Amino acid sequence: MKTDDPVNDTVLFAADGPTAVITLNRPKALNALTHPMVLRISEALTAWAGDPAVTRVLIRGAGERGLCAGGDIRAIHDDAKAAGSASADFWRDEYRLNALIARYPKPYVALMDGIVMGGGVGVSAHGSVRIVTERSRVAMPETGIGFVPDVGGTHLLGRAPGQLGTHLALTGAAVGAADALLCDLADHFVPAGRLAELTAELLAGAPLRETLARHTGRPAPGELAERRGWIDRCYRADTVEEIVERLFGEGDPAAKEAAETILAKSPTSLKVTLAAVRRARELGPLERVLVQEYRVSCNALRSPDLVEGIRAQVIDKDRAPRWSPATLPEVTGDDVARFFAPLGEGRELDL
């Protein structure tokens, strides 16, 4: 059996049978990812890929609140204010991990129980076996902090049916189990009360497919299926301004709420996000999208909205960000294009 010795280690590994286990172990921080955690997960996955004794990998989060709430955005805030390079270094390794998970040669089972956001989506939704529960809340909420969906999020959302992914990308809305399944962010629903039994059976060597079949069920109805009509009509518009106008014009309370939610986000992030999701649809493989996301993320470090958004939501928690520019019409095409500009020789993401 291989385990980590430090009692309070931030990520734990175990492999005493055919199922190797990764446990994100920062429950007080909703298991938010740090750079050392990403590096150690990558190292373990690489080793297990070549270990014939390991036939599958399972990832889970410690505590009862969720798998992972994302990256450590306080650290990103501080790095951006200091014009440092730590965030770019972190994203480089994180996106490489996302690509590794997506191409992993063995079943990769992600228990997406509770909160799964941002970087948490990156370490789960690219896996081959993605399990949600009635407690799951899956989201890419980056536009609310002046950022843009990353960790392959624009790839995942760009591939969602119709315009559902665009809706989730712009609003940052969290979805439950049924909607995660509809959007192809997950594969199976297992009641939270059965996760322990499912995990125990997998650790004991039970066959994966048959074990899943015994524990999967039908989730409670979601919200997106019945809203698909107005979502597809509104979000196929060419600009964020037109999307908002169409939403207000629907006469549906849920559409109006979506429009109001969008208008509270960073105008720059909204326009860059719409462009990023649509470009991702044309780019094809995940690796090409991650290269684009790395450019966008690194260029976002120089945007005032990233620091301001994290300040308002996480540091001061006044929930009153002062975006710059403050309105959608003020964000120009050149402003958006700068986020997709090449980073220069030796600075691009190499996959």
What gap in Å lies between CA 284 and CA 104, rounded to an integer? 18
Which residue among 119, 152, 153, 176 is the active-site one?
119
**Closest listed residue to residue 157, CA positions, set 147, 146, 169, 142:** 169
- 238 annotated active-site: no
Which residue among 71, 118, 146, 176 is the active-site one?
71
Which residue among 150, 250, 287, 293 is the active-site one?
150
What gap in Å lies between CA 113 and CA 65, rounded to an integer? 8
Q: Which helix (H) or strand (E) holds 139?
A: strand 137-139
Is residue 147 within 8 Å of 169, Cβ to Cβ?
Answer: no
DSSP 193: G
- 142 annotated active-site: yes
Angle at 144 between CA 132 and CA 77, to 5 degrees: 105
- 119 annotated active-site: yes
Torsion of CA 285, 289, 291, 293, to 10 degrees: -160
Lookup: tokens for 98: 């996302």
Cα dihedral sign, 325-331-334-337 = positive
Is residue 149 within 8 Å of 117, Cβ to Cβ?
Answer: no
What gap in Å lies between CA 333 and CA 280, rounded to an integer? 18
β pairing state of 19-24 and 11-14: antiparallel
Buried b (16+ CB within 10 A) or exposed e, 1-23: eeeeeeeebbbbbbbeebbbbbb
Lookup: tokens for 50: 């070549």
> In 10 A of CB 288, how many CB atoms?
15
Which residue among 72, 79, 142, 201 is the active-site one?
142
What gap in Å lies between CA 151 and CA 122, rounded to an integer? 5
Q: Which helix (H) or strand (E) holds 112?
A: strand 108-112
What gap in Å lies between CA 69 and CA 120, rounded to an integer? 6
Catalytic sites, residue numbers: 71, 119, 142, 150
